[in-house]
Amino acid sequence: MSSGNHVKPEKSPDESSADVIVRMFPSDANPAGNVFGGEILKHIDMVAGIVAQRHSQSNAVTVSMDRVNFIKPVYVGNVLKLNARINYVHNSSMEIEVKVEAEDIITGIRTITGTAFVTFVALDNGGKPSHVPKLLLKTNEDRIKFEEGKLRMQDRLKNRKKTNNLNRSV
Ligand SMILES: CC(C)(COP(=O)(O)OP(=O)(O)OC[C@H]1O[C@@H](n2cnc3c(N)ncnc32)[C@H](O)[C@@H]1OP(=O)(O)O)[C@@H](O)C(=O)NCCC(=O)NCCS
């Protein structure tokens, strides 16, 4: 694991948080006319990637998406606002939480339609995992989200062992 040429200063979740706004078009719809879940996943991955790269200031790749919940449908014409923040970091891995809100632009009604957790790993120029800045936990919310993120990451690592065995069995 590389740590770069200098010790990276701690950064708060606020410093890397991101909002992305995107309009849903007919080409984003499934055959039933609602927005296709995969289209929303793409935007979740993208906004989480912005946060991961802002925090690590390096290349970062998605290694896991989990607890993806589509709570309410998103309709063609809606304006989607995706908000992402970093909850937890270990050495090279980062847990990013994403909330998806859909706005009916005519009525102005806004609804939380989805949530997800995305894990990114920072990579150095050689494509190897590299250390990311530690999280500066300023608020109670930061501290609670960090501890909850740590528990989820432990869960992921247990699952990772199982999935790693998939490659050994083929
Ligand atoms: C990212 C990658 C280079 C890591 O390589 P690796 O050999 O697994 O490296 P390591 O085992 O040292 O793990 C590196 C970190 O990733 C974490 N990690 C790897 N897979 C993970 C998973 N499924 N869930 C959570 N964390 C994971 C490890 O816990 C470790 O975290 P830490 O450094 O904070 O302790 C490799 O998994 C990869 O290339 N994956 C594909 C990424 C990609 O292409 N994504 C785009 C979509 S296909």
C-alpha–C-alpha distance, residues 167 and 170, integer Å: 6
Task: Specify the pLDDT at position 2.
Answer: 67
Query: CB of 133 within 8 A of CB of 56?
Result: yes
Query: CB of 95 within 8 A of CB of 56?
Result: no
Find out whether the beta carbon of 121 lies less than 6 Å from any atom of ligand 1.
yes
Task: Specify the pLDDT at position 6.
Answer: 57
Mutational pocket test of ligand 1: of 63, 131, 132, the residue with most ligand atoms within 8 Å of the beta carbon: 63
Mutational pocket test of ligand 1: of 59, 121, 150, 164, the residue with most ligand atoms within 8 Å of the beta carbon: 121
Helix (H) or strand (E) holding 18: strand 18-23
Closest residue to atom 37 of ligand 1, CA basis: 63
Task: Specify the pLDDT at position 72.
Answer: 97
Task: Specify the pLDDT at position 5.
Answer: 47
Instruction: Parse the chain into domains and list their residue ranges.
Output: 13-168
Percent of the chain clearing pLDDT 70 (strictly above):
96
Q: Strand order in 110-123's β-sheet?
A: 18-23, 79-89, 93-103, 110-123, 59-70
The full length of the chain comes to: 170
Q: Which residues of the chain have a pLDDT value below 70? A: 2-6, 169-170
Find out whether the beta carbon of 119 lies less than 6 Å from any atom of ligand 1.
yes
Find out whether the beta carbon of 94 lies less than 6 Å from any atom of ligand 1.
no
Q: Which CATH architecture has domain 13-168?
A: Roll (3.10)
Q: How far apart are the first and last CA of the chain?
A: 29
Q: For tokens 């989820």, what's the residue? A: 152
